[in-house]
A and B are shown apart, each in its own frame.
Chain A
Amino acid sequence: MTKQHANWSPYDNNGGTCVAIAGSDYCVIAADTRMSTGYSILSRDYSKIHKLADKAVLSSSGFQADVKALQKVLKSRHLIYQHQHNKQMSCPAMAQLLSNTLYFKRFFPYYAFNVLGGLDEEGKGCVFTYDAVGSYERVGYGAQGSGSTLIMPFLDNQLKSPSPLLLPKQDSNTPLSEAEAVDLVKTVFASATERDIYTGDKLEIMILKADGIKTELMDLRKD
């Protein structure tokens, strides 16, 4: 007697890729704007990036209905925090809140693959990468979504610090400038678009700095 399987799934995958890179005093968060289901395109102009607080921006791929619900919960929780503490939530605080919110639904998870980017309390860029149930880690750069497997190895190649065990002793990385980071993001997305059918149309880049947020839009291949 084989186990009966559901003929309906509560989840769908709307595709897309999200990337974030942390700098010394900035953070770059980028995502494509294609929303798909199966082999069809639902929208060429759907933003996967959402500002949660002045210094914390969330980018999520996966099931966008769950992503939307998750964003709403975080937005309400942030409002409550502001009423109680009279200030905005810091990025590390938001990171913990996101983790707790995801784990809260451990047994019916939000199908959302998140990358949280922002500035920490010292003003340095920070990126947090998550799984669907809230396991998270602060990293220097991260990628999630359908194109992440194509992008992550390249980011490792360019940004990962050389191992201190290697001989001869190699220089630790020189800090990445904002222009270099944006350029890198554009390059990886252009490459991922070539081979991942779920990534393309447009690239939305948000650059978070102490004085504010800048948004840039770049065209990607539409096929």
Chain B
Amino acid sequence: MFRNQYDTDVTTWSPTGRLFQVEYAMEAVKQGSAAIGLRSRSHVVLACVNKAQSELSSHQRKIFKVDDHIGVAIAGLTADGRVLSRYMRSESINHSFTYESPLSVGRLVVRLADKAQVCTQRSWKRPYGVGLLVGGLDESGAHLYYNCPSGNYFEYQAFAIGSRSQAAKTYLERRYESFQESSREDLIKDAIMAIRETLQGETLKSSLCTVSVLGVEEPFHFLDQESIQKVIDTFEKVPEEEEDAGEGEAEPEAALVAAGTGEQGGSGDQDVAPMEM
């Protein structure tokens, strides 16, 4: 990425009509570990890779319950994600209190997007460095939205964000047409298989991923390790020895970083603003 003279301030336009600070914030999302969302007519599955800072620490929480009918998966600056999740929870509770009915997902993402936009137009603020996959169920059915740091939001059948998400997106692009009518079990299986794509070579284990489900008559909840492992076992025919050695495998850390930088779409010196779709 080139250092430009128009990128210090979020309130400074570049001559080509871009706000570089906002684009840099979107880069932060690409650096985070992968998060994936898929939806069918009746269910939404959110899954993410558990990447720990070091072997000594536990992994950060990237999927949050907002309400019984809404969940959010984040990628990027997890601290920003935590704060936004708290905001979403508060909005949901206040709406339920006032209207005695659950908050529609579409309404929530608009509020979230407006909040993100404010940070792109104040000189004393910085954009949130987190991408949010908001999945939920309301009267109009199941929805999956992606909220950017830019303040834009888009609805998806399936999407992946974070590092090496392109691999997952390729997998999802092949299969997304079947998701709308998918059963709950197939949707979960597809989510875990998409996660596997982002791991690129690393053996898929239930400890490496977190999966959450919500749907009609099924409030948001996390799947436990055994359920995830059962799904993995249906398609991962890995011999016993390899699985045991999984912990000690010297998966080159360099490979993970290298794959991440290959991700970038619009570079600084191209004229296409990546925010515009």
Contacts and interface: CB of A to CB of B under 8 A. Distances in A.
B212 to A, nearest CB: 14
Main secondary structure, interface of B, reads helix
A81 to B, nearest CB: 11
A28 B70 CA distance: 35
B274 to A, nearest CB: 34
B96 interface: yes
A83 B96 contact: no
B89 interface: yes
A149 interface: no
Contact of A83 (B65, B94, B97): B65
A80 interface: yes
Contacts of A72: 97
B275 interface: no
A79 interface: yes
B93 interface: yes
Nearest to A86: B65
How many B residues are at the interface, by size bracket?
Answer: under 10
Interface in A52-93: 72-73, 76, 79-80, 83
B97 A76 contact: yes
Nearest to B100: A72
Nearest to A72: B97
Main secondary structure, interface of A, reads helix
A37 to B, nearest CB: 23
Interface residues of A, number: 6
B208 to A, nearest CB: 22
A76 B90 CA distance: 9
Contacts of B89: 79-80, 83
A114 to B, nearest CB: 20
A83 B91 CA distance: 13
Which has the most chain B C-beta neighbours within 10 Å: A73, A76, A80, A83? A83
Nearest to A73: B97
B93 to A, nearest CB: 5
Contacts of A76: 93-94, 96-97
A73 B93 CA distance: 10
A143 to B, nearest CB: 30
Contacts of A79: 89, 93
Interface string B59-99: 00000010000000000000000000010011001101100
B93 A80 contact: yes
B207 to A, nearest CB: 20
Interface in B206-223: none
Nearest to B96: A76
Interface string B91-130: 0011011000000000000000000000000000000000
A72 B96 CA distance: 9
Contacts of B86: 83
A83 B97 CA distance: 16
A83 B94 CA distance: 14
A80 B65 CA distance: 12
Nearest to B92: A79
Nearest to A80: B93
A207 B48 CA distance: 41
Contacts of B97: 72-73, 76
Contacts of A80: 89-90, 93
Interface of B: 65, 86, 89-90, 93-94, 96-97
14 contacts: A72-B97, A73-B97, A76-B93, A76-B94, A76-B96, A76-B97, A79-B89, A79-B93, A80-B89, A80-B90, A80-B93, A83-B65, A83-B86, A83-B89
Interface of A: 72-73, 76, 79-80, 83
The 3 closest A-B pairs by CB, nearest first: A76-B93, A76-B97, A83-B89
